[in-house]
Every structure is written in structure tokens, then in C-alpha cells.
Amino acid sequence: MSEGTTRERPSQIPAVSEAASPAIGGSARVGGTQRGFAAYVHFPYCLKKCPYCDFASFTTPREEIPHERYRDAVVAEIGLWAKQRESWPKLSSVFFGGGTPSLWRASALGDVLSALRSTFGFESNVEISAECNPTSLDERKASELLEAGVNRLSIGIQSLDRERLAFLGRLHDVDGGLASLAAARAAGVKRLSCDLIFGVAGGRAESPEDARAEVLALAEFGLEHLSAYGLTIEAGTQFGELARRGRLPIATDDLIADSFSAIDEALTEVGFTHYEVSNYARPGEEARHNLSYWRGDDYLGLGSSAVGTLSDPNSGDATRTKHHPNPERYMSTVLGGELKPQETEHLDPETRVREALMLGLRLAEGIDLGVLGERLGVQVRTAERERAMRQLERAGRLEISEQHVRIPRAARAFSDGIAAALF
């Protein structure tokens, strides 16, 4: 449940953030000499499928969740990965996403962390995040997660409006959302993030002023981090089907853009840094895990449907793996001793350049093309790309400073299209 509609979901694919801020997150930078290494662990079970959700999540009653069997599978997978290489770097971050990881028995989640620690080792400042749903997070659960080793929680609040929450099909109400934040704090969680969805036209349709008021109320709560995602309607979801039949209220692009700006202004006013298109943080509280994706670090994808990317230490190539989304199929494969992802994709250096542009330009810090080219062993500034860069610069959509490029704040909402122009 980073829930949102989010395109930059850890399980799906990378996405992250802040200019001139070399210390952000304390992990590697694209092309830097010191790089991070992350692990994403997918937990696929939810109590109910939200109508907008296209993540690999499965409605399962609490009592039917296979806590221990799923744990055994992920631990087995860790052992299988360990055999693939002679040496591995220490992990700089671990992220439990889903699905609803806060439904997982904390002891099982802790066993997975122990296996990761004993197999790969953790950097001293390792970030360990778990996504939580307000309906499965109380003070006791938050304490158990802390004891298991988690040091950052991301809670799927999504809205502070009763009608919009109902429209989004959420199981919690406004008080329940706020109570989960308070419970996390009472348990001693120091790094707290929440997800919010804007651009919601159903329920009591949201205005940019509503979006501003919601993020300010959450900021007032003292959060360290906030992710704000525009609602996207995906084919294959309940909302997608309703939209296809013309029966879903949908916000206009202008309204979504206005809400995006209202959120940006409001959070910037109260001291947050807009470090990535959809992410805001207090200084030094950027999510290291997502920065890892956006900066092009290697990451293991563990669990059903999880995506991982590992670069070849001897070339600019990389391999991307994706596990089968069906949890049963995933479990029986790895418990049978096989590390057999459903998909394995070879990424050549030019493909990785395009991906690095797509991800790196989402960040306020932008990307150093010289370092990227050196790392991948290719010429990034081809004549054609140079022409496109200068055109974007003249249009006020790209800032170029020697080898460094970034998108100015005013054009950040168009980052995907800007990056695509450089392909």
C-alpha cells in the first residue's frame, strides 16, 4: 500500500529527488562511486481490493493469510539469491510493500529481516520501511514492527475527507487514519510517512483548496515525509471498468494540475522539500529506498510479483527479474528450491540510459549525464539528444549546467514527457 495509484510503486518499478543536495538520503547517486543496494519485499495480501488498485494484491480474510509459509518462501528465496554471486554489497535499505505488509505477523517479517541481515549484512544507517494500512496498524502493531527492526512506516491515509475515502473504497475512515498516525508516534516511530491521493472527482469532489487543506493538516501532524499521487484510472480495475462505461467521475487535467501546484506550494511553505514529482520530505527525511530506485541502484525483488534489477559488475548491462504474481505459484517455486522468475529481461546500456533519464529527471536533483555515461560505458550526449536537450532548454523545460540536467520546478509535473523527448 504505498497504495496510491502510484506509477512509481516500489513493486512495479522504480521511480525519485533535490537539486544541489548531495547528502540526500545518504546513499548512492547515479554514476557516483558509492552506490546503494536495496531489497524490496512484496507482501501480496489485503483485506479488500480497492477499486483503483492495479497492484498485485489479493483479497484474503485475516485468518487465511499464510504468514509462516510466505515467510519461509521469502527466506528460501534470499538463500537462493545468495548463491548467485560470490559477494554482495551490504543492504542500504529494505522496503516491505504490498499488498498490506502491516497484516503480516511482525515475527514473520522480523525473520525475513534476520535472513537479509545474516545473508547480506546491513549498512549502519540502513533504512527499513513497511507500508501500513490504518486498519491493521495500532500502537501494539507499530511497537512489534519496531522490535522486528523496522525503522520507518508509510501509512496509506489517502484522504482526510469522509466521502472521498468512501469513494476510494477504503476500509478506514478519517478518524481511523489519524488514529493510526497517532498510534505509530505513540509507539516511538521516528520516521513517519503517509500517502495521499489527489485529483479525486467522486464523493465530495476535491478542489485545489481541499488538497491544500489536507496536506497542511497532515503536515501539522508532524510527519517527516508525504507522498501525494494523482489518481490514475487503470484498465483492469473496478474504476477502469466504470470509466470505460462512462460511469466514473473523473477530474479534468487542469484540476489535477491545479491540485498538484496547490500541494507543492502548501508543503513548500511549511518547510518540506519537493524532492521528487510525487514526494515531499523534511530536510534529510527523503526516502532512501525510493531514492535508490530513482538513482539507478541495484535492488533485489523478493516475493510474488516483485521486480528486481541487478547490474553486471563487468559491463553496463543489467538483468531485471519479475516473479509470478500468484502467491501460491511463487511460494511453491522457491520452496521447491528454484529461483525461477516469471520474466527475466536483459537491459543493455542504451536501455538503461533511457530508464535513468526517465527516473532521474523525476528528481529535483536531476542527473549527471557525464557520470551516467561513464558508469554505463556509453555516450549519453549523442547529437540527436543534444538537439532535444537544447530545444527543451529554450522552452524552459530543462536546465543544463555542464554535464548536469534537471527539470525546473515549474515543469516538474511534465517530467515523463520531457524525459521521453530525450529518448
What is the binding site for ligand SF4 (CB under 6 A)?
1, 3, 46, 49-50, 53, 55, 57, 98-100, 133, 156
User: In which element (H, E) is residue 79 found?
Assistant: helix 67-82
Distance CA 159, CA 154 (A): 14
Q: How far is the CB of 247 from ligand SF4 (least distance, A)?
A: 21
Q: How far is the CB of 378 from ligand SF4 (least distance, A)?
A: 37
Distance CA 277, CA 274 (A): 7
Q: How far is the CB of 272 from ligand SF4 (least distance, A)?
A: 24
User: In which element (H, E) is residue 301 found?
Assistant: strand 298-302
Nearer residue to ligand SF4 within complex by CB, 1 or 150: 1
Q: How far is the CB of 14 from ligand SF4 (least distance, A)?
A: 18
Choose among 59, 112, 50: nearest CA to 81: 112
E strands, 255-366, in order = 273-276, 279-281, 298-302, 307-311, 318-322, 343-347
Nearer residue to ligand SF4 within complex by CB, 214 or 264: 214
Nearer residue to ligand SF4 within complex by CB, 54 or 123: 54
Nearer residue to ligand SF4 within complex by CB, 15 or 407: 15
In three-state secondary structure terms, 421 is: coil
Give the sign of the dihedral formed by CA 286, CA 292, CA 293, CA 299.
negative
Nearer residue to ligand SF4 within complex by CB, 110 or 156: 156
144-to-98, 111, 140, 185 alpha-carbon distances in Å: 19, 13, 6, 13
Distance CA 353, CA 343 (A): 21
How is 184-222 classified by DSSP, letter by letter? HHHHT--SEEEEEEE---SSSPPPHHHHHHHHHHHHHTT
Nearer residue to ligand SF4 within complex by CB, 55 or 96: 55
Q: Which cell numbers in the block locate residue 205? A: 469532489
Nearer residue to ligand SF4 within complex by CB, 58 or 414: 58
Q: How far is the CB of 408 from ligand SF4 (least distance, A)?
A: 32
Nearer residue to ligand SF4 within complex by CB, 133 or 259: 133
Choose among 312, 415, 270, 328: nearest CA to 64: 328
Choose among 364, 359, 348, 354: nearest CA to 422: 354
